[in-house]
Amino acid sequence: MKHRVLFVFTLWFVAVNGVRAQQPQLVQMASLRPNAELHWQRISPNLHRPDGPVLYQLLFNAAGTPGTLARFDANPRHLTNSLITDNGNMVAIGGLSISGAGLISFAGGQTFPTGSGDVSGAYPSLTVAGLQGHAVAGTAPTTGQVLQFNGTQWAPTTPAAGWLLGGNVVGCGMTTSPCSNFIGSTDNSAVEIHVNGQRAFRVETGPNPIYGTTVNIVGGFVGNYSGSFGATIAGGGYQNHPNGVISDFGTVGGGGGNIASSFATVAGGFANTANGISCTVGGGQGNIAGNSPANEFCTVAGGESNTASSLDSTVGGGSNNAASGLDSTVGGGQSNTASGLDSTVSGGSHNAASGQTSTVSGGANNAASGQTSTVGGGQSNHASGQSSTVAGGGINSASGLNSTVGGGTNNAASGDNSTVAGGQFNTVAGPGSFAAGQYTSDCTDNTCATNFSGVFLWGDNSTTNVLRATAANQFLVRAAGGVNFFTSADLQSGVSFPPSGGNLIVGSAAGVTEFTVDGSGNLNAVGDVNTDSTGANNGTVAHTVKFGGGGEAIGSKRTAGGNQYGLDFYTNSMQRMFIDLGGTVHVVGNLAVGGAITAGTKDFKIDHPLDPENKYLVHASVESSEMKNIYDGVVRLDGKGKPGSACPAGSNP
């Protein structure tokens, strides 16, 4: 019994050749109903009733097989199993299959065209007989070999200069050069490595009449350039800001917009230029090392807009600094200049070292213009004298040879070897003068047209009146609170000048006041007052205790001879009286006694009239109402019975 199966399709179609032939225009022959509902009728559409739907029935002539696609048999309404199967994982036609991933598997015994083609044999035993019409040798390859055309056929070959991606045995020792295996060219053609279609690394060579064959290495931006020999550009650069080497053996490490000249180096940064021979810019932006090739060995370590423009000049960093002097240095800071030979500005702002071997250590607006002059810091200080120094402070000046201002403000040392230790408004214009404190001057007026040398000045803070020197080599101190000089570590011995005109006090080590000098000039001593402690008095008025400004004095001869260690009295610088060590009083000249002379015996001696140089006459005084000389003794008579003269010549018997 023949099985018939009814299939209902949701697609209805009909081809009515007769109707189409009768109409000059396309007409709708069949259509779905508006609501896609089925309309059960067995009337085919016609010209008058073109709408459907039309019900078709399709009959299977045999039982359908699951997973097998149906096909029409000779009857257009009959379906039967086809050779195509679909199991959900692959589609197959006999032994040929296509997997879900698209892989094709051929049936055993599959054959392919043979003849002069590059592939021969039958699947799965296919053979590549040639490439591009050239035969492939039957020799089996070994590890590391490649297929190479030898002019006749393709054959396995071990490459002589091949370079493997997984690494290579170069066979070149540390001291062997050149290596037998290498990457590159054997002529003067450049070698480039490209990334994303653009050059990223270039090695180029060329002969140089001085240095022989040299190599340029240019990495980084495709626009980086070298117009020289032996140049190196490690990388960097970008659009409109390439790196470049413009002279032989220059080097640019990276950054952008950097330029290096002959033997010069720019390590990195932006828009830096090393234009002098062997000059260096370490980094930063807008820095220049060498304005011309003649500015050799100059260095800018970094920073911004710095310039080292002279031989061996250096700028360490900062901004807008300039080292233009030979061997000059600016360590950093801002807007500093070192223009003198061997000059240095360590840092700060707007400082200038223009003198030979001059130095400004820091601060702001300081200037060292004198040879070997120095400004340590501060603000608006100026050392213009040779070997002059301003250590710090503000608005100070040292203009004299070897002059010094230690600090403070508004101080001036213009004299040679003069010093202002500090304070304010001190002026020393005389050679070797010294001032400290405030408001002092060795000048007679503010013009300093007249000044004094060797003056020591100290001014306290009690007034703004200027303490002025009036002569050379003065020691002047204004100390409204008193002055103390100590000669012992315990601050007990020394001299004190109390404030407000008090007594001068001299103390001992035990803290005892030895003597004072009051406001009237009176000396009050507790102990001894010693004079001529060195024993220099030689019997003159020198080294004595003087009275007033004349020659009235009391002294003691300390040298040998005469009245040594006696006591001498002087008037008008002449010795008038002395007392010897035995206590005898000697009067030089007349002795006038206004009162009585009282004594046990009143002996006195006079020069002997006959031998005054060698002898004395010793007299004894006798109380009398009259002035007489009485001599007694033995008288010898002559032949006539008359006494001889027993009295000394000149006596009155």
Q: Give Cα separations from 327 to 12, 301, 330, 360 (angstroms).
A: 103, 15, 10, 15
Question: Which among 73, 104, 135 is the end of a domain?
Answer: 104
What is the pLDDT at residue 15? 35
In a domain, 266, yes or no: yes
Q: In this structure, are residues 234 and 226 in contact, taking their beta carbons and an 8 Å threshold?
A: no
Whether 639 is covered by a domain: the verdict is yes
pLDDT higher than 70, residue 508:
no
Is the residue at 358 inside a domain?
no
Query: Higher pLDDT residue, 128 or 247?
Result: 247
Peptide bond connecting 498 to the previous residue in cis, omega within 30 degrees of 0: no
Residues 475 and 488 in one domain: no
Distance CA 516, CA 523 (A): 6
Residues 553 and 646 in one domain: no
Q: Quick one: 219 and 312 in the same domain?
A: yes
Above 90 in pLDDT, residue 415?
Answer: yes
Torsion of CA 92, 97, 101, 103, to 10 degrees: -160
Please indicate, yes or no, whether residues 572 and 648 belong to a single structural domain of this protein: no
Q: Is residue 207 a contact partner of residue 213, using CB atoms and an 8 Å limit?
A: yes
Q: Where are the alpha helices (DSSP H) in 350-478?
A: none
Q: Which domain holds residue 608?
A: 599-653
User: 218 and 256 share a domain?
Assistant: yes
Is there a domain that residue 140 lies in?
no
3-state helix, strand, coil in the chain (%, to 5): 0, 35, 65
Q: How far apart are CA 377 and CA 371, in angstroms?
A: 18
**Final residue belonging to a domain, choices 57, 85, 104:** 104
pLDDT score at 324: 96
Position 28 confidence tier, pLDDT thresholds 50, 70, 90: very low
Statement: residue 10 has pLDDT above 90: no
Domain final residue pick, 59, 85, 104: 104
DSSP 488: S
Please, is 37 exposed, middle or buried when counting C-beta atoms within 10 Å of its C-beta (0-12, 13-18, 19+)? exposed
- Looking at the 3D structure of the chain, how many domains does it have? 6
Higher pLDDT, 326 or 602: 326
| CA nearest neighbour of 429 among 409, 467, 406, 455 | 455
- Spatial neighbors of 630 by CB under 8 A, at least 6 apart, are 622
**Domain contains 247:** yes
Q: Are residues 238 and 274 in the same domain?
A: yes
pLDDT score at 165: 72
Residues 467 and 561 in one domain: no
Q: Which helix (H) or strand (E) holds 18?
A: helix 17-22
Q: Is residue 162 part of a domain?
A: no
Same domain, 246 and 292: yes
pTM equals 0.59
Provide, rounded to the nearest whole percent, the portion of the chain with pLDDT above 70. 81
Question: Which residues partner with 359 through β-bridges?
Answer: 344, 374
Task: Let me know whether 203 and 286 are in one domain.
Answer: yes
Clarify whether residues 511 and 643 are in a common domain. Answer: no
Residue 197 lies in a domain: yes
Query: Average per-residue pLDDT in the chain?
Result: 83
**Higher pLDDT pick, 60 / 459:** 459
| 159 domain residue, yes or no | no
Q: Are residues 492 and 469 in the same domain?
A: no
Distances (CA, A) of 185 to 161, 217, 581: 12, 14, 122
Q: What is the pLDDT of residues 534-568, one digit of tens each?
A: 899 999 988 888 887 778 999 999 999 888 999 99
Residue 166 pLDDT > 50, yes or no? yes
Q: Is the confidence at residue 40, as pLDDT, over 60? A: no
The percentage of residues in the chain with a pLDDT greater than 90, rounded to a whole number, is 45
**Greater model confidence, 238 or 22:** 238
Residue 7 has pLDDT above 60, yes or no: no
Same domain, 23 and 97: yes
